[in-house]
Amino acid sequence: MADGRRHPQPGDLIEIDRKVYQHWALYVGDGYVINVTPVDEGAPSLSVSTTSIFTRKAKVKKQLLKEVVGNNKWCVNNKYDRSRTPLPVKEIIRRAERWIDREVPYDVLGSNCEHFVTELRYGEGVSDQVTKAVIGTTAAVGGILLVGLATAVVKSLCGDSSRRERNYY
């Protein structure tokens, strides 16, 4: 659950509401966040999830929070703090800054923007929005078989992230 603060502290997770999904960034201080963006420099960071599905890559950028947010709503959301222990703030920032301007694998199901920032904060990449989307699809359609098929289709588009190493530190 979001804590509603509008004044993030270094190491905080920032949840940005988009029309179909949430984009995630890590606040590093002085108005800046680190987040994954499309590899194509001309593509806006707002479309990272749709653009990167097809490229299977994203680029880590340090940008002003207000530029990443645009006209969307956002909040500090360290929702996993109840079940995971955050790393020390200096370690979170050090790990994050090592990735600036580097390309990383991108996969909606296994290596998305939320996975990236939670790996930096907790040492483990997790994404509730993926879990909720899969469960929601199962409930709406009423069959696990269709979710399995949809997962296989998305993985074929994105590549199987289980075969790639992900270490965001």
φ, ψ for residue 32, nearest 5 deg: -105, 150
- Known active-site residue 115: no
Catalytic residue (one of 23, 75, 115, 158):
23
Catalytic residue (one of 7, 75, 113, 115):
113
| Contacts of 150 by beta carbon, 8 Å cutoff, 6+ apart | 137
Return the sign of the alpha-carbon dihedral for residues 70, 73, 74, 80. Answer: negative
In terms of DSSP bridges, do strands 22-29 and 103-105 run parallel, antiparallel, or are they unpaired? unpaired
- Known active-site residue 113: yes
Catalytic residues: 23, 113
